[in-house]
């Protein structure tokens, strides 16, 4: 029997939305789906390394890099941002309930062989370089996304 | 012939997005699909009872309960919120055109036997209790969502 | 062999989300999918003509028309709006990389025979008239959307 397939476009750079994407993805992998998360636009920020990486960049690219959150734990919330207090409250509550952080969910995804793909067009536009992202990420365009998605059972845009 | 299946993850707590979810869901049920709406994160607020419910809670859980909108008609808009004027304008216009409110769309969904599910992990995180939500709701986790979604024809994340 | 089918609900009125929708849609059409974009709520603004159109309207309808962006290039960003500087920066960067603007992506969609549909219920609610939208658009309701989506391979809500 062929494996079921789940393919998620992660467009959003919000902590809560990225969490939802990774919870569904990890769940699907646990139920033996082949899973791909295609990170595009702000969704790429979830894969940035937390420490600064020295790469050569133009002015605008430097500005983007500075303004965008560096890594999973720096993302904000889609709701109840509340001057930065929201993410702290949520993380406090998550910790209390032993829920996994986004960083841990990304690690689990890599352990479960979920295919983490980054959109090359967005990398170009935002001036991001491979050295700035986590290791083990694949790089591809919309054609590769569609090839995975068109045979999919669960396709989501988050 | 097997029934078609529509499964919607309602993540958003915006009035307009919840309306879109319930309009698609009710449409699909009218066309004889089996329909599930899986409410997670802020999407749960659409199912809160409008009157306050007395339940025992810790401090953070009380704060969440206070800050989040209580029930469908308290939700804000994703766009044109305009200091609270947006939702009133939209509801005025909807009333003029005899469009159903979100509350009425939720009632219609229950009459059409749409399965309304609430994410147990979110209930835990936000400290919500079953007494605070409408009657007739099911409670489940991501595994139950995937079981419905993987055989689905229309899968959406809203 | 039957053609694959991609159906996208474009709910969002954000420039970056509309770009993502049209990039996926144009990609799918290039891979020989039958593609429909169903524009609802704020997503309709991507199809508004840029020049003002004189039509008779009531007071509220005039207000909506004034407050909502007129045409693809007037849309804001979902993130990094930064008092209007964000869209300019993104467009500058897109221009530098020879990326297509949203207006060009919509034109390409029409050339590729992507079915661009506008939700009649939203037209009524927001008081928009056909003269205000681009030529070659179809008008339909949720039933038509479901008919396309239920046989779809890739279904997204953006």
Average pLDDT, chain B: 91
Name chain A contacts of B11, Cβ cutoff 8 Å.
16-17, 20, 158
Is the Cβ pair B94, C125 closer than 8 Å? yes
| Residue written as token pair 């549909």 | C117
Give the mutation candidate from C20, C77, C83 for the A interface (greatest A CB count, under 10 A). C20
3-state SS, residue A124: helix
User: For the ranges A24-33, A84-93, B4-13, which has the lowest average pLDDT?
Assistant: A84-93
Is the Cβ pair A78, B42 closer than 8 Å? yes
> Are the CB atoms for A101 and A91 separated by under 8 Å?
yes
> Are the CB atoms for C46 and C123 separated by under 8 Å?
no
Q: Quick one: average pLDDT of B2-24?
A: 95
Alpha-carbon gap, residue B107 to B81, rounded angstroms: 25
pLDDT computed for residue C155 by the predictor: 97
Q: Of all residues in chain A, what percent carry a pLDDT higher than 70?
A: 96
Q: Quick one: average pLDDT of A5-9?
A: 97
Q: Hey, CA dihedral for C45, C138, B77, A75, is it positive or negative?
A: negative
pLDDT digits 0-9 by tens, C101-140: 999 999 999 999 999 999 999 999 888 999 999 999 999 9
Is the Cβ pair B157, A156 closer than 8 Å? yes
pLDDT digits 0-9 by tens, B116-149: 999 999 999 888 999 999 999 999 999 999 999 9
Is the Cβ pair B97, C125 closer than 8 Å? yes
pLDDT computed for residue C1 by the predictor: 64
Alpha-carbon gap, residue B98 to C99, rounded angstroms: 43
Q: What are the Cα distances from residue B124, in Å, to A40, A71, B36, B39, B119?
A: 30, 26, 21, 13, 9
* Residue length of chain A: 158
Task: Give the dihedral of Cα atoms B59, B64, B65, B70; nearest 10 deg.
Answer: 170
Could you tell me which residue, A54 or C107, shows the higher pLDDT? C107
Question: Nearest by CB to B142, which of A16, A23, A82?
Answer: A23
Q: Of all residues in chain A, what percent carry a pLDDT higher than 90?
A: 66
pLDDT digits 0-9 by tens, B98-114: 889 999 999 999 999 99
Could you tell me which residue, A80 or B120, shows the higher pLDDT? B120
* Stretches in chain C below the pLDDT threshold 70: 1, 82-84
3-state SS, residue C99: coil
Q: Which residues contact A85 (CB under 8 A, 6 or more apart)?
A: none
Q: Which residues contact C67 (CB under 8 A, 6 or more apart)?
A: B80, B82
pLDDT digits 0-9 by tens, A25-42: 999 999 999 999 999 999
Q: Quick one: average pLDDT of B30-54?
A: 94
DSSP code at position C13: -
pLDDT computed for residue B86 by the predictor: 75
Alpha-carbon gap, residue C127 to C47, rounded angstroms: 15
DSSP code per residue over B69-128? --SGGG-B-SS--GGGHHHHHHHHHHHHTTPPPHHHHHHHHHHTT-EEEEEHHHHHHHT-
Q: What are the Cα distances from residue C121, in Å, to A109, B97, C56, C135, C136?
A: 41, 9, 19, 19, 19
Name chain B contacts of A90, Cβ cutoff 8 Å.
125
3-state SS, residue B32: coil
Q: Which residues contact B28 (CB under 8 A, 6 or more apart)?
A: B4, B6, B35, B154, C146
Tell me the pLDDT band of A80, cut-offs 50, 70 and 90.
confident
Give me C100's structure tokens.
């297509």
What's the complex ipTM? Answer: 0.93
Q: Which one of 3.40.50.10490, 3.40.50.720, 2.40.160.100, 3.40.1260.10 gives the CATH number of domain C7-157? A: 3.40.1260.10
Beta bridge partners of A76: A14
pLDDT computed for residue C96 by the predictor: 86
Phi-psi region at A127: left, alpha or beta (left = phi > 0; alpha = psi -120 to 50):
left
Q: Which residues contact A139 (CB under 8 A, 6 or more apart)?
A: A117, A118, A120, A123, A130
pLDDT computed for residue B78 by the predictor: 87
pLDDT computed for residue B4 by the predictor: 95
pLDDT computed for residue B83 by the predictor: 64
- Within an 8 Å CB–CB cutoff, is residue B153 touching chain C? yes
> Are the CB atoms for C20 and A40 separated by under 8 Å?
yes
pLDDT computed for residue A82 by the predictor: 65
pLDDT digits 0-9 by tens, A94-112: 888 888 999 999 999 999 9
Residue B18 has pLDDT above 70, yes or no: yes
Give me A80's structure tokens.
């109840």
Alpha-carbon gap, residue A78 to A112, rounded angstroms: 27
pLDDT computed for residue B1 by the predictor: 64
Long-range contacts of range A84-91, CB-CB < 8 Å, 24 or more positions apart? A87/A15, A89/B60, A89/B63, A89/B64, A90/A15, A90/A16, A90/B125
pLDDT computed for residue B76 by the predictor: 87
Tell me the pLDDT band of A137, cut-offs 50, 70 and 90.
very high
Task: Give the dihedral of Cα atoms C40, C16, C78, C33; nearest 10 deg.
Answer: 40
Q: Which is nearest to C79 in space by CA: A84, A13, B81?
A: A13
Q: B33 vs chain C: nearest CA distance in angstroms? A: 9
Q: Which residues contact B15 (CB under 8 A, 6 or more apart)?
A: B72, B75, B76, B77, B87, B90, B102
Q: Quick one: average pLDDT of B41-64?
A: 88
Q: Quick one: average pLDDT of A114-128?
A: 94
Is the Cβ pair C155, B155 closer than 8 Å? yes
Q: Quick one: average pLDDT of B65-84?
A: 83
Q: Does domain A5-48+79-157 have CATH number 3.40.50.150?
A: no
> Are the CB atoms for A102 and A72 separated by under 8 Å?
yes
Q: Which one of 3.30.70.120, 3.40.1260.10, 3.40.50.10540, 3.60.15.10 gives the CATH number of domain B5-157? A: 3.40.1260.10
């Amino acid at each position: 029997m062929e494996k079921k397939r789940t393919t998620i476009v992660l467009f959003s750079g919000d902590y809560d939305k990225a969490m939802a994407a990774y919870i569904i993805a990890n769940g699907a992998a646990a139920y033996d789906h082949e899973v791909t998360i295609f990170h595009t636009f702000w969704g790429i920020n979830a894969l940035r390394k937390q420490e600064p990486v020295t790469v050569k960049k133009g002015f605008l690219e430097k500005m983007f890099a500075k303004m965008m959150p560096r890594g999973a734990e720096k993302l904000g919330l889609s709701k109840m941002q509340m001057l930065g207090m929201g993410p702290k409250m949520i993380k406090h509550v998550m910790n209390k309930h032993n829920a996994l952080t986004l960083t841990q969910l990304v690690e689990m995804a890599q352990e479960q062989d979920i295919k983490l793909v980054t959109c090359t067009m967005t990398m170009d536009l935002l001036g991001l370089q491979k050295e700035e992202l986590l290791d083990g990420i694949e790089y591809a365009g919309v054609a590769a996304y569609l090839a995975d998605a068109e045979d999919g059972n669960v396709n989501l845009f988050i």
